[in-house]
Every structure is written in structure tokens, then in C-alpha cells.
Chains A and B, each alone.
Chain A
Amino acid sequence: MPTIKVDETRCKGCELCAAACARKCITMSTTFSATGYYPAVCCAPDRCTGCGLCYQVCPDLAITVFKEEKK
């Protein structure tokens, strides 16, 4: 299943990824990160298609996108 990984030490909680996600898979955490922001989290991994739009808009390169390897 495609998924994203958010680097909490890089994320500044700007919410651009949450707005860019066409399938609304990203929401903001309700707890602070170590750097004092509410980082993005993938709230619905089952909906994620690995399209990478969140990666495109992230100003801090905090998001890495993973897809399953083709068999």
C-alpha cells in the first residue's frame, strides 16, 4: 500500500500538504513536535495513492513517498 513518511523534525506545520492532498489523507497532529509545531500526519493510509502532490508542495522536504514494488 502506498504511504508517506513525515519527518517531524523538519515539518513546520504549514498545512500546504493537507490542502494539496486530493484524497484528504493528511491532517495535522494534535501534539507538538520537538521543534514546537503541529506536524502533518497521514490519517488515512488506506486512501493514499502515492501521487506525491504533498511532496511537491512541501517547502521543507519533510515528506517522503513510498510505493509498493511491482512484482
Chain B
Amino acid sequence: MLQVTKRPESLLDVKMHYCPGCGHGVAHRLVAEAMDELGIRERTVGVAPVGCAVFADHYFNCDMIQGPHGRGPAIATGIKRSRPGCVVFSYQGDGDLASIGMAETIHSAARSENITIIFINNAIYGMTGGQMAPTTLVGQKATTCPTGRDPRVNGYPIRVCELLAQIEGAKYLERTSVHTAANVLKAKKAVKKAFQCQLEGRGFSLVEIVSTCPTNMGLSPLDACKFVQEKMLPQYPLGVFKDIEGGKHDASRN
């Protein structure tokens, strides 16, 4: 028999600690497969976030640094500037990137740092216990808005790709999702393209992956996928928001 699927070399052969049905596992695999296919594992440095993926360094078979809350892009900037030959990515969740690290995210995009950000948007804080995130939908229940998010008190959800699209320095922005197999395949292409954007020296790239958090959404994994399809996608439409050729960086440095 011929084995047609293979665990990517960039993903260590260990069990993951994520809850059943969590989107992180698939997102990890997509990043690892992109590293394998581009042959960049040996010179890749990743930045693990604060959140459920804080143990990403246990899973990725490349150099990893664990950053303080929200500071992934700042750390990635430092690594990329001191070691321009490295491929640098920051893997962050919505509470990490869109709340605490919003300043770092926007300014690294404005400076068009030649880094790649993988942004997991599951509309809730995961590890800390299901609090409201900046991306929580209007009406969605969370432990800090138990009757549902009320825009008069809690404001409106932030659309990160749309927000960054207006910044000149952002060169590649795409929103994908991992709630169905077809979307996983599209997300894989997006992640690879974001790494290619960095390898070409074009500048800041970000892939938003709309994901599920069955545990904190209080849904079964299948219902969480349905929630993504019916509730999250109207708020967070999928697609390429920006794909600009050319940039300030010299590709020969990579």
C-alpha cells in the first residue's frame, strides 16, 4: 500500500494538547506543510503567542521563541531585522493580536516589516476561559458578556484584515477558514503564499484563519463548524484583501 498522506517534517511527532475539534491542529499542519514545501524549515524562526498555542514550540520542528502577550510582531521584527536571512512568522490568536497586540500589529504593518503573521480568529478567548474577544460577534455569549455581546456596552467586533488593508505597508492579506475540507485546502494555499510573499521580500503578510473553539463556544465540534459557516462568515467574509507586488525590501537579502 502506498501512503498518500504524511505528517509534515516541520511538525514534531507528538500528541497535541488542544481540545477535540480545535482549529489550531489544522492551522499548525498548514504552517508546517508550507515550511516543508518551500524548504525553509532550517532557517525559519517562529514566535509562539500567549493563548492556547503558547506551546506551539512543542509542535513546530523549527526554532521558536515564546513572546509576551500581543508582542509577537515586535519580536518577529527584531528577529527579522537582526537575521534577515531567516524566515520569521508569528502565530497569534484574536485576543493576542487584535486586543493586547493591536498596536504592534498595526505598526509592524505600517513599517511593512518583512514578516508573516498567522492570525487565528475564533471569536473568543480560549485558554483564559472564554472571555469576550475583540472579534466576538454581536449577540455572542462569553463569560464576560453572559447575555451576549451588546454593542452599546461592549462595542462592535473588529475586522482585522479590513483594518490592515488600508495600510500601505501591508502587502498580502487574506482571510480563510478551516471549518470544512475545501476551506482547509484554500487556507493551505494562502499560508504558503504568505510565506512566499516574505521570501520575495515584499513586506508584511498576514493570513487570518477563521477557526473554531468548541469548548468555549459551548458547542460540539460539528456545531462549532456550523456556527462558523452561519454566523462568523457573514461578519468575516473570506477572500484576498490585498496582494501587492513589489516592496521596499531587497529580496536578495533573503
Q: Are the CB atoms of B7 and A61 closer together than 8 Å?
A: yes
Q: Which residues does chain B contribute within 8 Å of A61, judged by CB atoms?
A: 7, 11, 25, 29
Interface centre among B4, B7, B19, B225 (most CB of A within 10 A): B4
Q: Which residues does chain A contribute within 8 Å of B222, judged by CB atoms?
A: 15-16, 19
Q: Are the CB atoms of A14 and B221 closer together than 8 Å?
A: yes
CB of B93 to closest CB in A, whole Å: 15
Give the CA-CA distance A55 to B30 in the complex, in Å: 12
Residue total for B at the interface (Cβ-Cβ under 8 A): 30
Give the CA-CA distance A8 to B19 in the complex, in Å: 16
B5 contact from A15, A20, A55, Cβ within 8 A: A55
Q: For chain B, residues 212 to 254, give those with C-beta under 8 angstroms from any C-beta of chain A.
A: 214, 220-222, 225
Q: Which residues does chain A contribute within 8 Å of B128, judged by CB atoms?
A: none
Q: Which residues does chain A contribute within 8 Å of B221, judged by CB atoms?
A: 14-16
Give the CA-CA distance A26 to B15 in the complex, in Å: 22
Give the CA-CA distance A19 to B179 in the complex, in Å: 11
Q: Are the CB atoms of B1 and A20 closer together than 8 Å?
A: no
Q: Which residues does chain A contribute within 8 Å of B156, judged by CB atoms?
A: none
Q: Are the CB atoms of B180 and A20 closer together than 8 Å?
A: yes
A59-B25 contact, Cβ under 8 Å, with A14-B221, A19-B222: yes
Q: Are the CB atoms of B184 and A16 closer together than 8 Å?
A: no
B163 at the interface (CB under 8 A from A): no
B38 at the interface (CB under 8 A from A): no
A16-B225 contact, Cβ under 8 Å, with A60-B16, A64-B5: yes
B199 at the interface (CB under 8 A from A): no
Q: Are the CB atoms of A37 and B5 closer together than 8 Å?
A: no
CB-based closest 9 A-B pairs: A59-B25, A14-B21, A12-B20, A14-B20, A14-B221, A66-B1, A53-B181, A56-B181, A55-B5
Residues of B whose CB lies within 8 Å of any CB of A are 1-7, 11, 15-16, 18-26, 29, 178, 180-181, 184-185, 214, 220-222, 225
- Pick 22 A–B contacts, CB within 8 A, sort by A: A10-B15, A14-B21, A14-B221, A16-B21, A16-B221, A16-B225, A19-B222, A20-B181, A50-B4, A56-B26, A56-B184, A57-B26, A57-B180, A58-B25, A59-B18, A59-B23, A60-B16, A61-B29, A63-B5, A64-B6, A65-B5, A66-B3
- 18 additional contacts (CB under 8 A) given A16-B221, A61-B7: A10-B15, A12-B21, A14-B214, A14-B221, A15-B222, A16-B222, A37-B20, A50-B4, A56-B185, A57-B180, A57-B184, A59-B16, A59-B22, A61-B25, A65-B4, A67-B2, A68-B1, A69-B1
